[in-house]
Amino acid sequence: MSRAIGKLGDLVDIRGGGTPSKAMPEYWGGAIPWASVKDFKGGVLKVTEDYITELAVSCSATNVIPAGNIIVPTRMALGKVAINEVDMAINQDLKALQVRDESTLSTQYLFHFLKSKAKFLEEQGKGATVKGITLDVLKGLEIPIHTLADQKRIATILDKMDAIRSKRLQSIQLAGDVLRAVFLEMLGDPATNPKSWPVYKMSEVIDFRGGSQPPKETFEYEERPGYVRLVQIRDFRTDKYKTYIPAHLARRRFEMDDVMIGRYGPPVFQILRGLSGSYNVALMKAVPKAGVTKDFVYRLLQLPTYQDAVIANSERTAGQSGVNLDLLNSLDVPLPPVVVQDEMSSKIKKAEVLLNKLKLDLAVVERLSSSFSQSAFPGGG
């Protein structure tokens, strides 16, 4: 594919936005969608949390952006990108990019190019607490200009991969919902206990054990003899920040099948497993007591009955939420016999085979999409 290189600032018109005064109620609750970074939940902007009136548009710095433009954050949520499917106003943290000449640059192609630059844009963020980028950074992005036919072909392929990825994610979500439904059907609603299982307090079923925090100066960042991995909440999402500590300081250990809980958030009260090592103070281990299996504990703590109660009553300090352990220990738990717990686990594990296959399929799609995107946009973030 032959291509030239163009500067984004030479190819698009950029418009900003603003926030109408919150002190003017007549500016709010109108019919015009008003987008901010909190509305970026995917590649499309259609519905927003806030709506404003025509008076707000005429009396503030916001702008109504026609449908079909690309919207990018320049403050917070850096690297995200979306196309507005309806006319909407935007706030000052967003910029709207309108292609000047669709015969030179396809909007959908530009959308995928900007997605490929997500990591780069994140890295360009400046600011002590809230990261932002300047317009010069945005305007200076160098975009490969393939022929229009090639641009459309690239965009079509990446659109299809996005659609496949979206379907896989929906299937994974559905499969996860099915797993919880199977468990809930066999256990019965904990709030009503329709199967009349014996009821215990959570503290009688599970022992919650907090973690240990060794001094930071003992940390190593490569595996070495005599050291144990120190696991933090983020390690259940990524292996980018592996940390190791001397074995004699690894006072709180856990295994792959142990049930771990994220004590702080957001999101608070994550139920995790699949790693091993020593765990820090942001985690605690849920140790089943006599007559209780680990798998039962793992499924139980993910039920909405317990999730909703703990999250709603999480303690907040300096903007951080934390598990209220007294409340958690006081919750009622219907407890089936171990033989029934094992039967529940057996049925759920059969369904997990499908879930794991879907996750593998998703990983393949993401690798293919990333590889194709890198070939179309070399040097992308």
Cis-peptide, bond into residue 304, ω within 30° of zero: no
pLDDT of 316 reads 72
Task: Enumerate domains of the chain plus CATH numbers.
Answer: 3-144 (3.90.220.20), 147-189+336-381 (1.10.287), 198-335 (3.90.220.20)
Q: How far is CA 185 from CA 258, 294, 315, 343, in A?
A: 24, 19, 31, 13
- The pTM is what? 0.66
pLDDT of 175 reads 80
DSSP H or E run through 230 = strand 227-231
pLDDT of 381 reads 53
In a 13 Å sphere around the CA of 86, the CA atoms on its Cβ side amount to 12
What the block records as the tokens of 191 is 């709030």
pLDDT of 181 reads 83
pLDDT of 375 reads 85
pLDDT of 259 reads 98
pLDDT of 17 reads 95
pLDDT of 3 reads 65
The Cα 243–Cα 227 span in angstroms is 10
The Cα 42–Cα 119 span in angstroms is 16
Place of tokens 């009396």: 59
Listed in sequence order, the DSSP H helices in the chain are 8-11, 54-58, 107-116, 118-123, 135-139, 148-187, 202-205, 294-300, 304-312, 325-330, 338-376
Paired sense of beta strands 199-201 and 64-65, if any? unpaired
Q: pLDDT (tens digit, 0 to 9) for every residue of the chain, 381 residues total?
A: 556 889 999 999 999 999 999 999 999 999 999 999 999 998 999 999 999 999 999 999 999 999 999 999 999 999 999 999 999 999 999 999 999 999 999 999 999 999 999 999 999 999 878 889 999 999 999 999 999 999 999 999 999 999 998 898 888 888 888 888 888 888 999 999 999 999 999 999 999 999 999 999 999 999 999 999 999 999 999 998 999 999 999 999 999 999 999 999 889 999 999 999 999 999 999 999 999 999 999 999 999 999 999 999 987 765 678 999 999 999 999 999 999 999 989 888 877 888 888 888 888 988 998 889 888 888 655
pLDDT of 150 reads 94
Terminal Cα-to-Cα distance of the chain (whole angstroms): 21
> Using alpha carbons only, what angle is made at residue 160 by residues 157 and 161, rounded to the nearest 5 degrees?
90
